[in-house]
Amino acid sequence: MIEKDKAIRMTKNLIELKDSVLDAKFSKSHEKIAIGYKEHIIELVGGEEKYIKYLEIKIPVSKSEYKEIYNLFMDEFDKRKGDSALDKFHLLEKTIEQDMGLGKN
């Protein structure tokens, strides 16, 4: 059995790890978010039962623990989404400048 404290700590660390993939696709419909790292996937599942899931192992968490992890996830998810949009905007700006021959001096 995986210790709850260890599972929570590892989940939080993965959320903050820049190489992890954050998936909120099912956050509204199934109250589930996922963190992927290499071939590993950890899910945080809400609803009546709240738990962290790794493979077939379910580690129950309290409502407050769930909320803390979920909020951390969504903050990082929104930050990455914003960073990605900003990066794409700068790339567009650079491409337009190059296409128009307006390179920065």
User: What is the distance between the alpha carbons of residues 27 and 2, in angstroms, rounded to a whole number?
Assistant: 24
Which pLDDT band holds residue 91 (cuts at 50, 70, 90)?
confident
What pLDDT, on a 0 to 100 scale, did the predictor assign at position 69? 97
Q: 11-70, pLDDT tens digit by residue?
A: 999 999 989 999 998 888 888 999 999 999 999 999 899 999 999 999 999 999 999 999
User: What is the distance between the alpha carbons of residues 5 and 22, in angstroms, rounded to a whole number?
Assistant: 21
Of 76, 36, 35, 4, nearest to 44 by C-alpha is: 35
The arithmetic mean of pLDDT across residues 80-90, rounded, is 78
Q: How many CB atoms lie within 10 A of CB 53?
A: 16
Q: Where are the domains of the chain?
A: 4-99
What pLDDT, on a 0 to 100 scale, did the predictor assign at position 2? 86
pTM reported for the whole predicted model: 0.76
